[in-house]
Amino acid sequence: MLKKFALVLFTILFIVSPALSAEPEVAKLAEGVYGFIGKEGATNSGFVVTDEGVIVIDTQGPKGLALLLKKRIQEITDKPVLYVINTHFHGDHTFGNQYFKEAKEIIAHENTKKNLIEKDKEHRQQFERFFGERSLEGFELTLPTKTLRATLTLKAGSKTIELVYPGKGHTDGDIIVYLPDERVLFGGDLLYKDRLPWLGDAYLSDWIETLDKLKAFDAGVYVPGHGGVGNFNMLLNFQKYLIDLRSEVKRYIKMGKSVDEIKKEINLPEYKNWSKYNDWLPLNTEKAYRELTEK
């Protein structure tokens, strides 16, 4: 049942049309700091241009998007890529690593590297199923070369980049990328804006607590893994969705409702205008139900 549920979620996560039909936009977030923002909630990346070189945050998945990201970087600077950072293991954030192998290091949490290795075969099959049979032609799994367990600080030119593992959330290896001087925070898929999240590898209760930790960072600009650039209110709004989802599912469980009944009846009108609301709310509900009842 859990494998079937995860497969359905992955199908929806990697639906081809928004990821491949609309070209992402480059948004300047601060001096030398850019977001590569997907359309219609597709995957976001980012990059930081320093005096010494470029730091890339998530490399996209399909070859076309990874190479487009590289092209956009080269249109802004001719400096080399110093580091690549993977915020978590999902293919839409990591499968483009091979196109940035010139980097001195590819950096991620230790669990991200572990997941890429242990889930490699299934991960590739799912990716091809939903991006197309030819989406991984010429693909080479390119793993992180340096991992962290808690924190890591990078210095490049005048830029300071802090990598922090705040705890389990979207996966067990999510890290954020924080630039304290520029007050910019890349949240990876720990953050979504105006879109329901994918919960297939999530730890829902931990995620809510992890978002509390993000509130301690002095940031004015927040870049989610999916959705437009936001501010502190985006973090609060997204955390509230997770809390409301869990609370409402718990309420139905106390009423003696089955998971199928809850999926049909649940209604969170505050979020009805969020992308994927109709399609993903039943799936989010099932994940919350499984987590609450298994405990």
Q: For the chain, how many structural domains are there in total? A: 1
User: Could you give the angle at the alpha carbon of 67 between the alpha carbons of 62 and 69, nearest 5°?
Assistant: 100
For range 54-72, the mean pLDDT: 96
CATH number of the domain encompassing residue 186 = 3.60.15.10
User: Would you state the pLDDT for residue 271?
Assistant: 98
For range 159-168, the mean pLDDT: 98
| Cβ atoms within 10 Å of 139's Cβ, excluding its own | 17
| Cβ atoms within 10 Å of 206's Cβ, excluding its own | 15
Q: Is residue 71 part of a domain?
A: yes
User: Would you state the pLDDT for residue 5?
Assistant: 46
Q: Is residue 254 part of a domain?
A: no
Asked if residue 176 has pLDDT above 80, the reply is yes
SS (H, E, C) the chain: CHHHHHHHHHHHHCCHHHHHHCCCEEEEEECCEEEEECHHHCECEEEEECCCCEEEECCCCCHHHHHHHHHHHHHHCCCCEEEEECCCCCHHHHCCHHHHCCCCEEEEEHHHHHHHHHCHHHHHHHHHHHHCCCCCCCCCCCCCCEEECCEEEEEECCEEEEEECCCCCCCCCCCEEEECCCCEEEEEEEEECCECCCCCCCCHHHHHHHHHHHCCCCCCEEEEEECCCECHHHHHHHHHHHHHHHHHHHHHHHCCCCHHHHHHHCCCHHHCCCECHHHHHHHHHHHHHHHHHHC
For range 251-265, the mean pLDDT: 97
Q: Is residue 289 part of a domain?
A: no
Asked if residue 8 has pLDDT above 60, the reply is no
Q: Is residue 68 part of a domain?
A: yes
Structure tokens at 283: 């799936």
Q: Is residue 288 part of a domain?
A: no
Q: Are 104 and 59 in contact (CB under 8 A)?
A: no
Q: Is residue 248 part of a domain?
A: no
Q: Is residue 281 part of a domain?
A: no
Over residues 202-238, the pLDDT tens digits come to 999 999 999 999 999 999 999 999 999 999 999 999 9
Q: Is residue 291 part of a domain?
A: no
Asked if residue 272 has pLDDT above 50, the reply is yes
Q: Which range of residues forms the domain containing residue 11?
A: 2-234
